[in-house]
Structure formats: structure tokens, C-alpha cells
Amino acid sequence: MSSSIEKIVEQALQDGYLTPTMEAEVGRICDTASELSIEEYMALDRLMGSLLTGEVVAVPRKQLINVMEELVLSEAITRVAEIEATSDRVLDVGDIAAYALNRLPPLYATTEEGASYQRQKAKQELQDLISQQIDEAIARNLDRPDINEGRERLSKNESQGFLEQVNVLLKTNAHNYEKPSLNRNSNS
């Protein structure tokens, strides 16, 4: 679903909140646009001002983890280290983990107690399946030539929150849109 920044800002002002989906869409538009219009900058400025005054509230993302990711990564790292220590092969832990995770059920948790429960459940009921999927992923990775050549790795800029990203974007680019002062000093 593609939206304009102006529509998203209007919706946020009308509703009084900015959802994570709305935030992500604004970020996507800003990331993919080669240049934003003055209207888009003005809408971002309105949104930022509304967020700062509390007129619009940013709805926080629910904190959750997929316990299966930590279990798979832990086992994959251990197995890859064993293989690399006894051979001249270099394996991609990320590719191995992604392959296995795509074939295993997710185990989400939102609390430490929930995460502990999911870990225990996985160790009792799914350990054999986890090992099997990692074995399969390693075998596939060993059979392939260097498939990473020419591929761009995923990256996330999570060090900056949405407000910081908008603030940097406005500071970097909005100076081009400042209107010249009409009250010029005639004595100069």
C-alpha cells in the first residue's frame, strides 16, 4: 500500500496517534524518494511539531522476540565454528540460520517468563527438528560456491529513532526551502 506523506500526516493529526505502520511508511517514502517536495517537508514539519507538543502520540512497537532465532543462531554458530576449525571452509552463519528458520515454527514471547517457557518447550519438543534443519542448511551451504558475491547485505539503522531521522532529514534538506526575508535592511 503506497501513501503520501501528506495523507499519513493528516491521518495522524485526525486520529491523534502515529502507528508503527504509518511511521514505517513515512520512513520508506523518505528512503526511496530522490527528492521530497516542499509540501512533504511541510507535512513532516507539522508531524514533528505535533509529536513534540503531544497533539499526536507515537504508538510504541510491542517489544517481542522470536526465541527460535536465538536457539537457531546459537546452534548454527557452534556448528559452523566446529566445521571451520577442522577444515578450510568458511560458512555464512546468516544464510544457514535463515534457511533453518524458514523451515521452523516461530516461538514469539513478550516477557522473560514467556521466553523461558518457549526455550524450554523448544529444547524438549523441537531440538531434533532444529538440528535437522541446521544440518540441511550447512549441507546446502557447503555445496554452493560463493553465492554472496555481488549481493548486498541487509542493514538497519536502528541507532536513530523516527524523530531523530526526520529531524536529520529536515536539517539536511529543508534549508533549501527557506523563504528569503522580505524585510531587507535598505541601509546596507
Q: pLDDT, tens digit, for every residue of 70-115?
A: 899 989 999 998 988 898 888 888 899 999 999 999 999 988 899 9
- Read off the pLDDT of residues 14-41 as tens digits, 9 standing for 90 and up: 999 988 888 888 888 888 888 888 998 8
State the pLDDT at residue 23. Answer: 87
| Predicted local distance difference test score (pLDDT) of residue 186 | 44
pTM score of the predicted model: 0.51
Q: For position 120, what pLDDT does the model report?
A: 94
pLDDT band at 171 (very low <50, low <70, confident <90, very high): low
For 15, the grid coordinates are 486520529
Helices (H) and strands (E) in the chain, counts: 8, 4
How far apart are the C-alpha atoms of 118 and 65, rounded to whole Å? 11
Angstrom distances, CA of residue 65 to CA of 70, 71, 123: 9, 12, 17
Residue 116 has pLDDT above 60, yes or no: yes
- How far apart are alpha carbons 88 and 19 in whole angstroms? 49
Phi, psi of 47 (to 5 degrees): -65, -45
Residues with Cβ within 8 Å of 104's Cβ and at least 6 positions away in sequence, in order, are 68, 72, 126, 129, 130, 133
Predicted confidence (pLDDT) at residue 66 exceeds the cutoff of 70? yes
